[in-house]
Structures are given as structure tokens and as C-alpha cells.
Structure 1
């Protein structure tokens, strides 16, 4: 590792499993003191233990981000205290995806998904950005999704929240960038999840892409490390697609026949 995040501090929401876990491990390996956060204490502690075993620094903070400003402020305060009074990097990774259509989503589901996926990151940025400005700078990284731009028939609710977060990425870059806080996002494609069966229909969504398969969490972590590091010092308000080409490229089954037509 190049230790690109040496002496930095980072709070990563939803970092007890899969993409968030991979980002936490990568940040720890790159030298950051990482706050792992989430609702599952045992999983969170396991991530912390792994980072420490690999020679890094990490602590766990239990967090149930319910969309209230109080919950986000509480997490930010607890993380800042453990990190010596500052958070250099905030990664808004926590999110939920109910497999519902527009017609089956009820009031409670809509409120819950917007609370976790939009309001919690909004209030975390509200809590953390001023401290970053006061400290001379910082980085906020949001997790978007390819379905915010290339829609599928199930998941309108989730897609709309990720669209909101990608819009906030640009708005926050405009608001906080001139004050030294860089704000960007990573937009994953379908990412392999050990808790899903290999025949899960989500994986079929990557057919017809250049990659032709689901990605690995480490690919998202690598993009997050880049955006958090000084290598991305001139990158503001950008959504980095790490999706195997899903949102931007169509692969033809028979390009020769297409050319002939």
C-alpha cells in the first residue's frame, strides 16, 4: 500500500459489511484512523479487529441513522471524540434497498428509505462540514448508484434517493468546495454480496456490459481511496461510475450483424 491516507481520520457509515466494510479496510490499510459505524455491533467490531490486525487504527461506534438531525449529530460527535477532535473524511455509505415498486411502497417505507438514504447523509454533512472548514479542509464521499440514471422497473424509491444524493454531491461541492471541502461520489454497479445466492436476479443486470459480471466491493473501495486522497485534489462534484460500464455502454451480442444492418 502507498499509505495515501496517512495521518487522516475517517468516518464511514454502514461499514460493518460488504461495500462499507471494504472501504473501511482499504482506508485502514492506507493509513487512516477509521471509525466503523453501523447497527450490528459484532460485525462492526470484527471489522475493527481486522483493521487492527493488519496494523491499522480503528474504532467502532454503534449508529442507527434514522434520518433525524440528532442521530447524525450524535454519530459525528462520537466519531470526532474518538478521532481526537476532527473528521478529515466522511463516507456516506449507509443505505437501504427495499424491493418494492411504486404501487407497493407505503408511507412508512417511503419515509424510512428517505430517512436513511438522504436525510441521514444530509445531516451528517451539516454536522461535519463546518468542522472540516474550520480545520482547513476535508473530504466528503457519497455512495450513489447506477440506477439513479439507468432505471429498472423495480426500485423507483431507492433510485430516487440515490438521485438525490448524487445531486447533493454537486450542490455540496459548490457550497463547501471554495472553503476547502471536496465533495464527490462513487456510483457502483451491481456488486457481489456474499449474502445473495449466485443465481440472484440482480446479477443478471450486468449481462450486456463490458465487464459482463458483478463487481467486487474492493473496486468501490479503490475508487473511494482515490477520491479521499490528494491524488484527487482537483476533483470536485464528480460522480465516479464504478459499474462495469452498466450506465454508459451497450455491448452488442453480434456487432458484425449490427454493422451489416
Structure 2
């Protein structure tokens, strides 16, 4: 493999929700750029993902730590475990998220708490856990993963849309508060991504392989989102702070996909 345009040699990156889908693509891209990467996920399948990525990239700069991001105790264990294994966190990617379907009347309190707990509270807890060490070391980068649902929403994804709207607000608030400490906070806002979970939903709704292939060719991939994340985490974006980078193939400006 040729040398990457963006290098992260010697830097430690934590990617939440990285056992599969967008998170796995982000983890792989950082590995390809020379970073040490911690895959943080509540899914034990993250261990297999870490092993496969290590074999694929030919190195041991990837490590799995099981973590439910809605629980402070597990967040603290994640940060401590990362420090012991690779060193303090230089880049945090808050990608962990769930997107179950339910409208207002179908959303009970437990459903709401679960979605907001993972998608929004988790990001807040992780930022709170990594920022003190970043401040001590003179800087760091946080990239939050949002969604186009933050701006428009859909009836069946109310709690999810609210959580992603919160991610945008969290991003801008922290960006303003932490810029003086040389900690840059930005958000990548994907459009419609052909992730494993989304493809599984298409199949459950009766789409055949040909239809899935045709739709997948028109929407975004995990790699598209990973490229945007790596850019925002790199020195190439050193003057970009508190921004929402939309990666949706032009859907938000009216392009028909």
C-alpha cells in the first residue's frame, strides 16, 4: 500500500460502535493512516473485527475494549484501558448509535431513554472522560457522527432524530468551549448509508439482492464517511472548528439519488 496522504503515526484513536458498519470503516481508515486504534463496542463481535483488521493491515495497532457508552463506569474503563494499551486518547470518534423505528405514540419512556442514552448521553460521557487529558497534553480532536435526520427527521425515527439534533448542539457547544485548549470538535453528518444494519432492514422489508445492489450504488458507504472523519481529525482541517460536514451525495440540496 502506498503511503497515505494523511498520517496519524503515533496517535491513539478511539472509535465507538466500531464492531461493524460505519464505525468499522472509520477504524480501518485510521489504521491505514498509521494510527493506533481502539475499537469500542458493546458487541463482543468487536473482538473478531479487531483480529480481522490486524490480519488485514498486517499489524497489531488495533485493540478491542467492550463498552456500553450509556454507562459512565464502562466509559471510564474504556479510557483507562486505552491509556494502558496505547496511551492517552488523541482522537475520539463518537460513532456509537442505534436507530430503532418508532413514532411518537409508539415511543415509550424506556425506548426513549435507550436511544438517547446511547446516541447522545454516550457522546457527552466520552467527551467528559477524554477532555481533561487532552487539555493537559495541549490539544486533541473530537469528531461526532450525526445524521441528516437531525435537520428533517422522520415520523418513525423521532427519538433517533432528536438524539442526532442533540449531537449537533453538543458539537457546537463543545467546539466553542474547548477551542482555547486546542481541542477541535466537529461533526460528520451522513445521509443514507448502506450499512450492514440498513441492508438488513431492506432485506426484512422484502427487497431482493438486485434491488439492494442498485440502491447501494446510489447511496453512501461507510468508507465515504470514514474519509470525512479522517480529514476532520487531521491537520489538513486545523482551521475547521464547530462545523457540521454533510456527506450525503447532495441529497440535502435536492439531488435525486
Equivalence for 1:218: 223
Displacement of 1:52 in angstroms is 4.7
Equivalence for 1:140: 142
Unmatched segments (≥5 aa) in structure 1: 204-210, 254-261
Q: TM-score, normalised by structure 2?
A: 0.88
Unmatched segments (≥5 aa) in structure 2: 208-215
1:60 equivalenced with 2:64 (yes/no): yes
The answer as to whether partners of 1:69 and 1:123 remain within 8 angstroms in 2 is: yes
Equivalence for 2:28: 25
Equivalent of 2:48 in 45, 53, 57: 45
Deviations 1:212-251 (A, max 9, x none): 821111000000010111101111000100011222x124
Matches of 1:7 and 1:222 in 2, distance apart? 19
Structure having the larger proportion of residues in helix: 2
Matches of 1:98 and 1:237 in 2, distance apart? 28
SS of the residue corresponding to residue 99 of structure 2 reads: coil
Change (3 A) 1:47 1:142: same
Matches of 1:212 and 1:251 in 2, distance apart? 15
The answer as to whether partners of 1:132 and 1:181 remain within 8 angstroms in 2 is: yes
1:242 equivalenced with 2:253 (yes/no): no
Equivalent of 1:131 in 123, 130, 133: 133
Q: TM-score, normalised by structure 1?
A: 0.86
Matches of 2:204 and 2:247 in 1, distance apart? 20
The answer as to whether partners of 1:52 and 1:58 remain within 8 angstroms in 2 is: no
Change (3 A) 1:41 1:121: same
Structure 1 segment 92-171 matched on structure 2, within 5 A: 92-171=94-173
Matches of 2:251 and 2:152 in 1, distance apart? 8
Matches of 1:27 and 1:200 in 2, distance apart? 32
Displacement of 1:71 in angstroms is 2.4
SS of the residue corresponding to residue 6 of structure 1 reads: coil
Displacement of 1:82 in angstroms is 1.2
Equivalence for 1:181: 183
Point out the structure with max Rg over C-alpha.
Answer: 1
Displacement of 1:252 in angstroms is 7.3
Displacement of 1:79 in angstroms is 1.6
Equivalence for 1:6: 9
Matches of 2:47 and 2:99 in 1, distance apart? 20
Matches of 2:113 and 2:96 in 1, distance apart? 16
Matches of 2:73 and 2:161 in 1, distance apart? 26
The answer as to whether partners of 1:3 and 1:29 remain within 8 angstroms in 2 is: no
Equivalence for 1:231: 236
The answer as to whether partners of 1:110 and 1:157 remain within 8 angstroms in 2 is: yes
SS of the residue corresponding to residue 182 of structure 1 reads: strand
